[in-house]
Amino acid sequence: MSTDLFEKTLLTIHELDIGTFRFYDQVVIGEIKEGKSINLDASLPLLALAWEHYKKKPVVYISNRKHSYSLDPTMHFETLKLVPYLAGYAWVVYDDINEKNARLEARFLHCPNSVHRSMDTALAWAFETLRRQELD
């Protein structure tokens, strides 16, 4: 799917205390604000919005890590219980430090996940992950 065609699937944009989240047909792209500390409690408003928008429809979350922030990776154990329809989780990183952080975080996720250096490759991975899940 081309980027232009993908942009046409934009449903809404949510500005939350922790960041900006773009909700598409089956993809959420999140950009956490600089310096935020993310744990399960801080993520609950986002998880509630995802539940409302997708209602068990498979969805891939892409973390666009443009900014530096801290995240408690153990929150993913609970995230998957609250959002069992999460089909995949990807990170777009722009430097080696954030790539190392993403790879550490990935160890706590028990769903398909992948680290990318561009949004285009992350989106291609997301669409392929969703396609594979439809075939299962």
Give the pLDDT score at 79.
Answer: 85
Residues 135 and 28: their CA atoms lie apart, in Å, by 21
What is the CATH number for 99?
Answer: 3.30.750.24
Half-sphere exposure of 67 (CA within 13 A, CB side): 15
Instruction: Say what percent of the chain tops pLDDT 70.
Output: 97
Residues 6+ apart with CB under 8 A from 107: 73
User: Does residue 39 register a pLDDT over 80?
Assistant: yes
Residue 118 one-letter amino acid: S
Residues 64 and 103: their CA atoms lie apart, in Å, by 14
Confidence class for position 3, pLDDT limits 50, 70, 90:
low
Give the pLDDT score at 2.
Answer: 61
The pLDDT tens digits of the residues spanning 53-103 come to: 998 899 999 999 999 999 999 999 888 888 889 999 999 999 999 999 999
115: containing domain: 3-135
Give the pLDDT score at 7.
Answer: 80
Total structural domains in the chain?
1
Q: What is the DSSP letter of 56?
A: T
